Structure 1
Amino acid sequence: MTIVVEALCTGLPRPFNGAELSAIDKRPAQGPVMIRRFGLEGDMVADTRHHGGPDMAVHHYPNDHYSAWAEWLGGHDLLSGPSAFGENIEATGLVETDVRIGDRFRLGEALLEVSQPRKPCWKIEHRFGRKGMVAHIVKTHISGWYYRVIEEGIAQSGDHLTKVDEGKTDWTVARLFAALYDPSCKPAPDQLEEICMLEKLSEAVRLSLSRKL
């Protein structure tokens, strides 16, 4: 499986909601970008309690969902620009049902590994100025996902994102997101235990679920 990366996007913390800062407003990087263990050079996280770290180093939100969002929202200027959802990787052709926890992808010189779904928060709704977006993501499971960086390296727009290794699990990003966050999906206790045993799942998600169990 190979897709073309249309842009690699980065952003710095900026005023977002009164005194609140956010780096969700990202722009395409010009030229090659170094992808390091904690993310793309030139990209920062404002809320280090809930975002960032090696298990959430690179965020991928599929451009495939933009047309459905445009219909749901009745159009929105953000959807005609880059990184509407604060994603680092802008690309089409890879969605949550295609991607499993532990899948590895080569992007330029870097090697990325899928670590967890993205849990949506209020900042998406504040950015778009629309209520109900988080609930829609929870219902449809169009969450996006995070990669950890296995091998650092340089990449740029136009590079291919190529799957080089399959995660040894049946848990796609969509299925896992549904089990963790969609109240209408009620996984059995043995499924929750199976999730906790996913070796490649981010530590924070595993610990959170373990506490609930």
Structure 2
Amino acid sequence: MHYPTIYTGTIIPYEGSKPSAIGKRQVSGGVMLNRLGLEGDEQAEKKVHGGPDRALCQYPREHYQFWQRQYPQQAEQFCAPALGENISTEGMTEENVFIGDIYRWGEALIQVTQPRSPCYKLNYHMDIDEFSVQMQQTGRCGWLYRIVGEGMVSEDQPLELVSRNSDISVAEAISICFHMPFDKEEYRRLMRAAGISASWSKTLQMRVLNGKIEDMNRRLLGV
């Protein structure tokens, strides 16, 4: 059983960067989960954050030990929800969560749609140059959900796997999209994964059409 800690955030300004709702606070008791996410949670740039395919972000709590070792001088800041997650758990990682997985959570049903794509706002939020690049390279990205069925959820209700719909783990999706050299067949395989988000399908399809991997610096570094 994987019992989640729940976090929501509101949009605030960041000096030297654009406004963001990456700063989250813990929510206790029941909260409504609708098709666009947890009640009270906001997204600043809805073109690249949030929406039906990216309504909820989960991050493995055990990854924070790795980041504490990587950045010992900033170790104190590496604890949930430092990376802007809505759900923090132990025991669920990119290796054992798969694209298309459907989980029951309280009254709701949620489906894994894609790994999180780290962006430059993490660099400002953590005050670490190119932290987004490190997250992507290590594969410790977490993942996103769409809401298949709305309902009340709480930290007292576990995430229970009810349907596995593909053979591609979140870790493998990260490897295909972020780590491997150009591979048209692997992109097509990932596009066939049940539940994959529209934005990832578009990115992969554009790679197939253009015959190359897109420049990721704008997302990762804001340039």
**What TM-score do the two structures reach when normalised by structure 1?**
0.92
Q: 1:179 corresponds to which letter in structure 2?
A: I
What is the match of residue 61 of structure 2? 63
What is the match of residue 196 of structure 1? 191
Instruction: Tell whether the 8 Å contact from 1:57 to 1:149 is kept in structure 2 after alignment.
Output: yes
What is the match of residue 77 of structure 1? 76
What is the match of residue 38 of structure 1? 36
In structure 1, stretches of 5+ residues that fail to align are none
CA RMSD of aligned residues (A): 1.4
What SS class does the counterpart of residue 115 from structure 1 fall into?
Answer: strand
What is the match of residue 99 of structure 2? 101
| Pairwise CA distance, 1:18 | 4.2
In structure 2, stretches of 5+ residues that fail to align are 209-223
Q: 1:200 corresponds to which letter in structure 2?
A: G
For 1:44 and 1:109, the matched residues in 2 are separated by 22
| Pairwise CA distance, 1:158 | 2.6
What is the match of residue 175 of structure 1? 172
| Pairwise CA distance, 1:115 | 0.4
Query: In 2 relative to 1, CA 79–158 (structure 1 residues): closer, same or farther, beyond 3 Å?
Result: farther
Instruction: Tell whether the 8 Å contact from 1:118 to 1:145 is kept in structure 2 after alignment.
Output: yes
Instruction: Tell whether the 8 Å contact from 1:35 to 1:41 is kept in structure 2 after alignment.
Output: yes
Are 2:51 and 1:53 equivalent residues in the alignment? yes
What is the match of residue 221 of structure 2? none
Aligned length: 207
| Pairwise CA distance, 1:187 | 5.5
| Pairwise CA distance, 1:193 | 1.4
What is the match of residue 165 of structure 1? 163
| Pairwise CA distance, 1:176 | 0.6
| Pairwise CA distance, 1:165 | 0.9
| Pairwise CA distance, 1:19 | 6.5
Query: In 2 relative to 1, CA 199–163 (structure 1 residues): closer, same or farther, beyond 3 Å?
Result: closer
| Pairwise CA distance, 1:111 | 0.6
**What TM-score do the two structures reach when normalised by structure 2?**
0.88
Q: 2:37 corresponds to which letter in structure 1?
A: G
| Percent identity over paired residues | 32
